[in-house]
Structure 1
Amino acid sequence: MRRTLLAAMLLALLPLLPARAQPVLNVYNWTDYIAPEVLERFQRETGIRVRYDVFDSLETLEGKLSAGRSGYDVIVPTAEPTFARLLRAGALLPLDRDRIPNWRHLDPALMQRIAKVDPENRHGVIYLWGTVGLGIRPDRVRALAPDAPLDSLDLLFRPEHAERLAGCGIAVMDSAMDVLPSVLHWLGRDPDSADSADLRAAEQALLAIRPHLRAIPGSGALVDMLATGELCVAFTFSGDVIQAAARARQAGRGVEVAYVAGPHLWFDVLAIPADAPNPEAAHRFIDFVLQPEVMAAITTHTRYPSAVPAARPLVAEHVREDPNVYPPPAALEGAFVAGTLPIAAERARARLWSRFRAGR
């Protein structure tokens, strides 16, 4: 009888007891850089709610992390230089591979590309990768500069071409980390140079085209500007251009967007901040994303390739067969991966970029 009364009392009190809080995963990723159905599936299968915030430049990401206590469980920095800098600062948690069995799907050769930054790949896995180059509207470029090259960065960085194309809109993404290495390489200098003469040459090259630029936007805004035809030449990430081309086709307004690959190769990395509030959920998310069918959905949506070879056959055919998404090996032979610079050189580049943005 006493047990029956006790059970009845406990049942009556249940509505008054605090419910167990639903676990939350806090993700900080690039704008438009995951398939929405992937987040929905993760929440459905794990019961973990995802709070998903976005950034559009590495500077924004670093600013958030450098302040400390960001509140994020998973971040997506570019391997060089942001991931490398966060590692040096002790800002990242070592990954527990026992919690990431889908690690086995990763391409060892690609993972070796970031091992020079992260020995033994202890702190991050490649999420997506690509190149930096030009998004162009071939018809508008031919109309205004019929003799300008359509397969070279000369189209933007030679002032005589930039001046003629200013009327149809040209832009450079607002990211010193991603633009300056390509400018230095285009000038025949070391992309990682900290030499003051090399940096002056890069600054002069940028200032020479600065009067002709319509905007220096974040990559998210740049995609929209390309897709709507507001720009005819834009320097940005490969996937941004491919996304813009897809949006332009869907809109059916006669805007054709093409991509011209540059030599700058980059890798974005899934990593866990050292002070992540829910590292267990972070490991579950990374393991979930590394499933081939999940990575295939992400590549189909973003138009960026992954480091999971088994995902490629599952990617939508029009994306899988696009050489701008999956460059042929020959196209990558002369590619470079930007390195990590000394702090003094980083500051010099930041000052250079500020002057470029201001146009002086």
Structure 2
Amino acid sequence: MLLRRLMLLGACLGALFAAPASAQDRVLNVFNWNDYIDPYMVQRFTRETGIRVRYDVFDSLETLEGRLSAGRSGFDIVVPTNEPTFSRLARAGGFRPLDRNLIPNLRNLDPVLQRQIASSDPDNRFGALYLWGTIGLGVNPDRIRALAPDAPLDSLALLMDPTHARRIARCGITMMDSAIDVIPTVLRYLGRDPNSTAEADLRDVERALMAIRPFIRNFSTGGAIEAMAAGQSCLAFGYSGDMIQAGLRAREANRGVTVRYVAPREGAQLWFDLLAIPADAPNPEAAHAFINFLLQPDVMASITNHVRYPNGVPASRALVDPEVANDPAVFPPDELKASFFTIGPVPQAAERARSRMWARFKAGR
């Protein structure tokens, strides 16, 4: 994680110093997920436009929403997930409508995916699809089988069944630190509607999570990449691309650690991350230029190669490395996608109840 952060910082500093003197007042402030862009594309953007990039990262939707809800964030580009964060902020007036005349490359986006996102962003008015993926399990199969040979590696029961979690705990379990992302999947595992806000369903979710709480080593979202790659954890609940990145880093380190991403057979939550411009963005023209730059097929292909998440530009697929393009964990086959589910917005009262429950769960009481 530290190495990747340093690479990203170096790329952004390179972009800063590459900018011509006459463009020093043209600055783009980006707030994106950690490990979620090819840093060399940041350099290229500055080279081609003369716009410097100040790049900051977050690793949970709660962090992003908190910064934007406070107002005057200073960011020109943010990358929220369509539900519930993007749709909630859009309804609250948190985003500037996209000027399509400034983003001709919007025509490159997949119309099928755009229609799916329209339930969160009617008429695709405020967001441009960036990357998408699922939430599931990162597993170290060798270490898990050594401790729990009969545990199902393709099921959420691997994590949610206390019998399995108790045995696996010895090699480390990491839970992503996000009630927004975890609760819908637990509801699905329990056979409930992932969008349920019923008090009885939330109590059942809490009971299920509390049953495995003694076996969770740590709560981390972005940090799960390094924990899995380094062998500090053998099971993590996290984002698909993060777990695939963990596997790549483990192979590069060549220390006998294997990490695989599993979309659980009970169904994985499908999400879409959108490029959006905050309503009070100080440099909206630079933001439009950045979105237009990113939506070029060769740029999106480079990003997918780097972060192992599929993107929303179909023409990029032919430019993606064959190893990535043919990886079903990155580009899931249709039969697997049939089990995926999406979530909708949650009323504010239900969101508060979920947050209180999550705090109890983390505290273990």
TM-score normalized with structure 2 length? 0.92
Q: Give, in angstroms, the shift of residue 25 of structure 1.
A: 0.3
Q: Give, in angstroms, the shift of residue 334 of structure 1.
A: 2.0
Question: Residues 204-260 of structure 1: CA distance to partner in whole angstroms, max 9, x if unpaired?
Answer: 11110000011011x221100000001111000000100000000000001011111
Contact 2:23–2:50 under 8 Å retained in 1: no
Contact 2:24–2:51 under 8 Å retained in 1: no
* Equivalent residue, structure 2, for 1:163: 166
Question: Residues 131-160 of structure 1: CA distance to partner in whole angstroms, max 9, x if unpaired?
Answer: 000000000111100111011111000000
**Does 2:30 correspond to 1:27?**
yes
* Equivalent residue, structure 1, for 2:192: 189
Contact 2:108–2:295 under 8 Å retained in 1: yes
Q: 1:274 to 1:162 in 2, by over 3 A?
A: same
Structure 1, unaligned stretches of length 5 or more? 1-17
Q: Give, in angstroms, the shift of residue 290 of structure 1.
A: 0.1
Contact 2:185–2:194 under 8 Å retained in 1: yes
Whole-angstrom CA distance in 2 between matches of 1:304 and 1:313: 15
Give 1:60's aligned amino acid.
T
* Equivalent residue, structure 1, for 2:15: none
Whole-angstrom CA distance in 2 between matches of 1:254 and 1:171: 20
Contact 2:247–2:259 under 8 Å retained in 1: yes
* Equivalent residue, structure 1, for 2:358: 353
Larger radius of gyration: 1
Please list every run of at least 4 consecutive aligned residues from structure 1 whose deviation after the TM superposition is greater than 2 angstroms: 18-22
Question: What SS does the corresponding residue of 1:133 show, helix, strand or coil?
Answer: strand
Aligned ranges 1:1-360 → 2 under 5 Å: 21-217=24-220, 219-262=221-264, 263-360=268-365
Contact 1:22–1:47 under 8 Å retained in 2: no
Whole-angstrom CA distance in 1 between matches of 2:24 and 2:271: 39
Aligned residues: 342
Contact 2:241–2:307 under 8 Å retained in 1: yes
Question: Residues 29-51 of structure 1: CA distance to partner in whole angstroms, max 9, x if unpaired?
Answer: 00010001100000000000000
Contact 2:24–2:52 under 8 Å retained in 1: no
Whole-angstrom CA distance in 1 between matches of 2:122 and 2:196: 23
Q: Give, in angstroms, the shift of residue 20 of structure 1.
A: 6.8
Q: Give, in angstroms, the shift of residue 22 of structure 1.
A: 2.6
Whole-angstrom CA distance in 2 between matches of 1:80 and 1:19: 40
Whole-angstrom CA distance in 2 between matches of 1:117 and 1:76: 14
Question: Residues 296-344 of structure 1: CA distance to partner in whole angstroms, max 9, x if unpaired?
Answer: 0000000000010110111112111110000011111121111101111
Question: What SS does the corresponding residue of 1:149 show, helix, strand or coil?
Answer: coil
Contact 2:77–2:287 under 8 Å retained in 1: yes
Structure 2, unaligned stretches of length 5 or more? 1-20
Give 1:93's aligned amino acid.
R
Whole-angstrom CA distance in 1 between matches of 2:124 and 2:346: 20
Q: What RMSD over aligned residues (CA atoms) do the two structures have, in Å?
A: 1.0
Q: Give, in angstroms, the shift of residue 21 of structure 1.
A: 4.3
Question: Residues 261-283 of structure 1: CA distance to partner in whole angstroms, max 9, x if unpaired?
Answer: 14210000000000000000000
